[in-house]
Amino acid sequence: MIAKRTNSKLLLLTAGIFFASTCVFAQDPGGMPGAGGMQQPTPGTAPGGYPGSQPMPGNGPSGSPGTQPSMADQAFIRQLLESDVVEVQLGQMAQEKSQSDDVKQFAEKMVENRKRLDEQLAPLAKRLDVNQPKGPDKKMKQQIARMQAMSGQQFDEEYIRTILSAHEKDVKNFKQAASAAQDPNVQRTAQTDAPIIEQHLQAIQKIAEAHNVQTSTDESKK
């Protein structure tokens, strides 16, 4: 009888010790993985689980990480867009007011080419944070207004001089950008279109000779 009571007490004592040790182990966060819940991520671990991973830096306007566009590149694109606006307006005016077939044909080609160039430049201008011009600047608006009041030979001569001067500036700007632009896309555009702008310059020079129009180049030779 005494032996049975002793065995019963031993069983109860053993069961109590096992239950107590189980409770303590379950409350210990440093126990076996999965026993007390999900393991916490270590410091410096990204939500995806890769230690030290950080967001990749975004590309700047010129395409390189964190870089800002060159002011010279922006100025070149801005001047080119402004030149396109002027030449389109003058070309459309020349098609209406000129009495010379060669001037009209040249003006028609200028309108087509400049509109096409403007479309090609739009994505590049956006990347470089250059806004499309709303119209000619104040000086060119005054020039266009003066030409609007002209007609016949007087208009043709003024149109030729204005376009010739604009193309001389364009050729200079294109050559400079082709060799010194920092953005590779700007440089590529300048290198590709520079020969076309030079062809336009040569064409308007021939028209100037045919109409006996004195140019700044002719005056400098005297």
Whole domain around residue 204: which residue ranges?
Answer: 71-128+136-221
Q: Given pLDDT bands bounded at 50, 70 and 90, which one contains residue 116?
A: very high
Give a yes or no: residue 12 inside a domain: no
pLDDT at 14 (0 to 100)? 44
pTM of the model: 0.67
Give a yes or no: residue 27 inside a domain: no
Give a yes or no: residue 141 inside a domain: yes
Q: Flag whether pLDDT at 40 surpasses 50.
A: no
pLDDT at 68 (0 to 100)? 86
Give a yes or no: residue 203 inside a domain: yes
Mean pLDDT value across residues 21-40: 40
The total domain count for the chain is 1
Q: Is 69 left (phi over 0), alpha (psi -120 to 50) or beta?
A: beta
Q: Flag whether pLDDT at 42 surpasses 80.
A: no
Which has more pLDDT, 218 or 40?
218
Q: Flag whether pLDDT at 28 surpasses 60.
A: no
List the CATH number of the domain containing 80: 1.20.1260.10
Give a yes or no: residue 66 inside a domain: no
**How does 154-188 read in b/e, with b if 16+ C-beta sit within 10 Å?**
ebbbbbbbbbbebbbebbebbeebbeebebeebbe
pLDDT at 10 (0 to 100)? 40
Mean pLDDT value across residues 62-88: 85
Give a yes or no: residue 55 inside a domain: no
Tell me the two tokens of residue 212. 């006996």
Q: Given pLDDT bands bounded at 50, 70 and 90, which one contains residue 216?
A: low
Type of residue found at 8: S
Give a yes or no: residue 168 inside a domain: yes
Tell me the two tokens of residue 28. 């210990």
Q: How far is the CA of 134 from the CAs of 27, 67, 112, 115, 166, in angstroms?
A: 72, 28, 19, 15, 19
Could you report the per-residue pLDDT of 117-128, keeping only the tens digit for each? 999 899 999 999
Q: Given pLDDT bands bounded at 50, 70 and 90, which one contains residue 217?
A: low
Q: Flag whether pLDDT at 219 surpasses 70.
A: no
Give a yes or no: residue 165 inside a domain: yes
- What counts of helices (H) and strands (E) characterise the chain? 7, 0
Mean pLDDT value across residues 13-28: 42
pLDDT at 38 (0 to 100)? 36
Could you report the per-residue pLDDT of 141-166, keeping only the tens digit for each? 999 999 999 999 999 999 999 999 99
Report the DSSP beta bridge partners of residue 51: 45
Angle at Cα 193 formed by Cα 185 and Cα 92, nearest 5°? 120
Structure-derived torsion over alpha carbons of residues 176, 179, 183, 186, reported in degrees to the nearest 10 = 60
Mean pLDDT of the chain: 77
Q: Flag whether pLDDT at 198 surpasses 60.
A: yes
